[in-house]
Amino acid sequence: MPKQLSFAGPSLVFVTGTDTSVGKTTLTCILLCYLIHSGVRVAAVKPLCSGGRGDAQLLARLQNEKWPLELVNPFWFAAPLAPGVAARQEGRRIRLAQVQRYLARMQASCDCLLVEGAGGLLTPLGEGFNLADLIVDMDGAAIIVAANRLGAINHTLLTVSYLRHLGIKKIKVVLMELCRKNMVSHSNSLILSELLTTTPVFSVPFLGSRASELAVLKKNAKKNQKTLARILRIDRL
């Protein structure tokens, strides 16, 4: 039996990225695995996505289908475009209030709700709104995920700067290693920590070429539990 945790972190955590394919799903999955193993009442969702639905299916499988796919990912569109654009192609109009009501219901069912975004922070999700609007309106915490490669400093600073401009203060940055550490990845962490003096910067090591497999995700969650605990700010009883 896992030891119970006293969850001292935010109850609503949005995982966004500096771009698409930077490691948002992988980070969301290992955070989810860690919280489940630790006995925290947690749920993880990807409210809006388009094209492939694999990310949402993976989240559902990690939660042992406790939530059906339609609840993990209630707004799905077939075209591989930004969700807001893909929805219009299908003649659908997704409103901010719809997504807010859905997230409020899910948040009421757990101690911590992890919400994975689609693409970057300003990717159109529906009619006139993006993930930044959801974070502001629902007073959520933001985890910014960046692939630890050349360009990460600029992209991360822009994303953090925009969130700060909106008045969001609960921000953390997580650099996802794409391979073994090199000169660029090492300097990215140092420079971002130096420039983002009030925003914690964390690094998750390269998790291997099979990182999206369930068994590998669970293994990596256990292996990196100290870092994940610091990201989530939780304390063992």
pLDDT score of 15 more than 50: yes
Per the structure, the count of domains in the chain is: 1
Task: Give the pLDDT band (50/70/90) at residue 8.
Answer: low
Spell out where the chain has E strands.
Answer: 5-6, 12-17, 42-45, 48-50, 75-77, 112-120, 141-147, 171-176, 201-204, 235-236
CATH of the domain at 87: 3.40.50.300
- Catalytic residues, by residue number, are 46
The pTM (predicted TM-score) of the whole model is 0.93
pLDDT score of 236 more than 50: no
SS3 145: strand
Q: Which tokens in the block code for residue 229?
A: 């605990």
Each residue's pLDDT tens digit, 203-232:
999 999 899 999 999 999 999 999 999 999
Name the maximum alpha-carbon separation found in the chain.
Answer: 51
- DSSP percent split of the chain into helix, strand, coil, nearest 5: 40, 20, 40
Each residue's pLDDT tens digit, 48-107:
999 999 999 999 999 998 999 999 999 999 999 999 999 999 999 999 999 999 999 999
Q: What is the pLDDT of residue 156?
A: 98
Share of the chain above pLDDT 70, in %: 93
Q: How far apart are CA 110 and CA 66, in angstroms?
A: 12
